[in-house]
Amino acid sequence: MSSVNKIAESAEAYFVSLSTSSTPREKTNYYNSNAEVYETITTMLDYRGPSVVANIVSSHFSGDREAAVVLDVACGTGLVAKQLVTHGFKQIVGVDGSKEMLELSRKTGLYQELKQCLLGEEQMPVQWGLFDVVVIVGALSIGHVPISVVRELFNFAKPAGYICMTTRDTCDNAEYKSSLENELKKMEEDGLWTCAEVAEKDWIKAIPGQEHNHKSGVVYLYKKI
């Protein structure tokens, strides 16, 4: 096996291990232990989620971006914030369960506030109805954040605010993706929001030799009524 393949397999194994950790706290501990190498690995795997989400949000948001308040849920090391600021967003609040990831986010200087919270286990320490844009990138998938968190995301947005979510379009995540989409549709049928865009995108690099160069992800953008 070539060195490139070994590196790619090692990087992919990193994310598989996160999906299969048995408890949220074990997963958080894993992120704490690997925070310093997280961005190296995402770069190695050509992880496109943050840039894809920032582009989609930007294409729909027509308000004053400097005044808009953004909630970045599961913010990690600040990859999404780094992309959002290139589109003119300045006021960003980050929430994550990992103390070490938050410390790296703090060093970016891109966040007005950073709060620690174990998603799905604790109530998020932010105000309802405050945010013009709410984003969660990479956390809505099997073994990570429960689908029930979607209702919380809705509550944090202002009326006419946007909620942008992602999930992986992979075999191991198929059941979770189906359940997530059922919940999103039910909330739309209940008159809580309207769908602004659903887009399937290249998400993360596949191991060399696999059929496709990149594995897919799906972005869901909703506008609160």
Do 144 and 27 contact (CB within 8 A), yes or no? Answer: yes
Other C-beta atoms lying within 10 Å of the C-beta of residue 198? 13
- The model's pTM is 0.91
The predicted model gives 51-80 an average pLDDT of 98
Distances, alpha carbon 105 to alpha carbons 36, 94, 99, 119, 140, in Å: 11, 8, 10, 17, 20
The confidence score (pLDDT) of residue 22 equals: 60
Handedness of CA 116, 85, 170, 43 (dihedral sign): negative
d(CA 123, CA 143): 19
> For 143-168, what is each residue's pLDDT tens digit?
889 999 999 999 999 999 999 999 99
CATH architecture of the domain with residue range 3-224: 3-Layer(aba) Sandwich (3.40)
Which one, of 180, 164, 185, 187, lies nearest residue 52 by Cα? 164
- By C-alpha distance, which of 106, 60, 105 is closest to 87? 60
What is the structure's pLDDT at 27?
A: 82
What pLDDT is recorded for position 7?
A: 47
φ, ψ at 4 (rounded to 5°): -60, -45
Per DSSP, the chain holds a count of helices (H) and strands (E) of 7, 7
Q: What is the pLDDT of residues 167-223, one digit of tens each?
A: 999 998 999 999 999 999 999 999 999 999 999 999 988 754 455 568 899 999 999
Indicate if the alpha-carbon torsion angle 144, 145, 147, 148 is positive or negative.
positive
State the Cα–Cα distance between residues 70 and 111, nearest whole angstrom: 10
Sequence-ordered list of residues with C-beta below 8 angstroms from that of 43, at least 6 positions apart, any chain: none
Q: For the chain, what are the domain ranges?
A: 3-224
